[in-house]
Amino acid sequence: MVYEGRIGLNKGPAVLLLMGPTAAGKSALALEIAEHFNAEIVSVDSASIYQSMNAGTAKPSQAERGRIPHHLIDIVSPLESYSVERFRQDALACVRDIHARGKQAVLAGGTMMYFKALMHGLDAMPEADHDVREALDQQAKDIGWPGMHAKLMQVDPVTAHRLDPNDAQRIQRALEVFALAGQPLSALHGRTLNKEIEGIHFKTLALMPSERSVLHERIAQRFELMLQAGLLEECRQLRHDYPDLHAGLPSMRCVGYRQALEFLDGKTDEVEFRFKAIVATRQLAKRQMTWMRSLGSDSEIDPLTPDLMEKGLLAAGALLGA
């Protein structure tokens, strides 16, 4: 399915958006495409942005980064928040810089909100307001985030019902939007600032697995590799290096890390920890595929096919006009 309303149609060189669920093989294919078409890779991954988080994010290795330049990896502290709007600005800046050096850009990853922001623009939401956030933080100190969630339930029950009562970042943002716009966040979703992006022409290649059971096997194998790479040791080190780190931060809500912290805190045993992490990753993959279907694509490949690299290069070449 090809979506309507793509931003920047027929303007400038093609930019390849390579999207797929976790464990689909995006990183390996992106490397092949980048090497073949003289491109650089821009990460579209909301976990890889964080410094010191390596074992659980499947970042490209230093050797892979040496082969092909990668962008938007290790750019913020695990204590920071990173918005969709900031990603869009950073990604577009990267693309323009890559083009200015006479190279192609491949944007690869699995954070579908980021892809949506590139392809369809941003929701027409008010910008963050420091004073409003300070006031909300002060209220949260007095009544806790579950109490703030109850306040959100009064003004925006649609948003409140889909948020965990301890999801501090999203509860704060929803209350901030209501305070600034006078309307619930749920009412503003879908109203996009669909401005064209001058000089950028997106083409999308989606990796859509045909056999979910095979993808689930890959997910389980991938998680075992993360454990072998030192995920638990990394979480211990993160707590040592960042004393203010806590489970409510966006970085610690990344799949794998959330479950690892529960295990380190004695809330689960090892068997339950592994089970919960793998199930959560499967659920993430399902959400990613649902997003992909709604976003649409110019070309689609089954990543479980044995000749993925060959098919991927052919599809990329056709989309890039090479």
Asked whether 265 and 84 are in contact (CB, 8 A), the reply is no
From 1.10.20.140, 3.30.720.210, 2.130.10.10, 3.40.1410.10, which CATH number describes the 130-188 domain? 1.10.20.140
Using CA atoms, how far apart are residues 182 and 134, in angstroms rounded to an integer?
18
Burial label for 200, CB within 10 Å (0-12, 13-18, 19+), is buried
What's the pLDDT at 9?
Answer: 40
Using CA atoms, how far apart are residues 322 and 312, in angstroms rounded to an integer?
13
Q: Is 203 left (phi over 0), alpha (psi -120 to 50) or beta?
A: beta
- Looking at domain 14-123+192-320, does it have CATH number 3.40.50.300? yes
Contacts of 191 (CB under 8 A, 6+ apart): 123, 124
Q: CA angle 19-73-57, nearest 5°?
A: 70
What's the pLDDT at 7?
Answer: 41
Query: Taking the CB of residue 136, how many other CB atoms lie within 10 A of it?
Result: 20
Using CA atoms, how far apart are residues 179 and 169, in angstroms rounded to an integer?
15
Task: Find the distance separating the first CA and the last CA of the chain, reported in whole Å.
Answer: 22
| Residue (of 111, 120, 124) closest to 57 by Cα position | 111
What's the pLDDT at 192?
Answer: 54
| Residue (of 88, 72, 84) closest to 7 by Cα position | 88
| Tokens describing residue 50 | 């964080």
pLDDT digit of tens for each residue in the chain (322 aa)? 333 334 444 456 789 999 999 999 999 999 999 999 999 999 999 999 999 999 999 999 999 999 999 999 999 999 998 888 899 999 999 999 999 999 999 999 999 999 999 998 876 677 778 788 888 988 999 999 999 999 999 999 999 999 999 889 899 999 998 888 788 888 877 655 545 566 788 999 999 999 999 999 999 999 999 999 999 999 999 999 999 998 888 899 899 999 999 999 999 999 999 999 999 999 999 999 999 999 999 999 999 999 999 999 999 999 998 6
| Residue (of 22, 17, 2) closest to 212 by Cα position | 22
Domain boundaries, the chain: 14-123+192-320, 130-188
Burial label for 154, CB within 10 Å (0-12, 13-18, 19+), is exposed
The CA distances from residue 33 to 24, 27, 30, 140, 278, in Å, are 15, 10, 5, 47, 29
| Tokens describing residue 73 | 């990896």
What's the pLDDT at 3?
Answer: 33
Residue 71 φ/ψ, nearest 5 degrees = -125, 155
Using CA atoms, how far apart are residues 219 and 277, in angstroms rounded to an integer?
10
| SS3 at position 228 | helix
Q: pTM above the 0.85 mark?
A: no
